[in-house]
Amino acid sequence: MAKHKITQIGFDKLRQELDYLKNVKRPQVIKRIADAREMGDLSENSDYDDARDEQSFLEGKIKNLENQIKNCEIVGQIVKNGEIMIGSKIEVKVNGLKMVFEIVGQNEADPLQGKISDKSPIGSALLGAKPGDEVNVQTPKGIVKYQVLGVE
């Protein structure tokens, strides 16, 4: 299986979420199931059914996070020769407007937070570019020119 790329910050967030689910949320759900069992007849106990459904969902999410963590490759934010790479924070000029965003692995992408996937049209087009470069990005409305102003 191919490893997916992720920044250290993204990796740390995955680990924190997994830790929370295993050490806080899981015990809460187990207690909820135990409390519901004490109420008696399980065949007509909606609290018990709801708690079991929550447990099933939670265990699936834990397994998914464990697989993501196991199959990721942490990429550094080291800028080599000023080139844009995963983890780079960049400033660009497009259609006369300055924009700042970060190139991240696709599992970390959040355009509303300025985090653009390396697999997106913009991210993939900008990888390897340096300050001063102009990059053409194919969009649904046609080609858009991005001028790289800075990389950190």
pLDDT in tens, 106-142: 888 898 999 999 999 999 999 989 999 999 998 888 8
Q: 10, exposed or middle or buried, with CB in 10 Å at 0-12, 13-18, 19+?
A: buried
Q: What pLDDT is attached to residue 65?
A: 92
Residue 81 has pLDDT above 80, yes or no: no
Structure-model confidence comparison of residues 73 and 57, the more confident one: 57
- DSSP annotation of 113 reads G
| Strand ranges in 48-141 using DSSP code E only, listed in sequence order | 72-75, 89-94, 97-104, 115-117, 134-139
pLDDT 10s digits, 92-107 = 999 899 999 999 988 8
Tell me, what's the pLDDT at 21?
96
Annotate 38-65 with b (16+ C-beta within 10 A) or e (fewer). eeeeeeebeebeebbeebeebeeebeeb
pLDDT at 140: 84
From CA 51, how far away is CA 31, in angstroms rounded? Answer: 9
- At residue 79, the pLDDT reads 55
pLDDT at 41: 65
Taking all residues of the chain, what is their mean pLDDT, rounded to a whole number? 88
pLDDT for 30 beyond 80: yes
Q: Does residue 69 or residue 82 have the better pLDDT?
A: 69
Per-residue pLDDT at 23 exceeds 90: yes
Domains within the chain, CATH numbers bracketed = 4-74 (1.10.287.180), 77-151 (3.10.50.30)
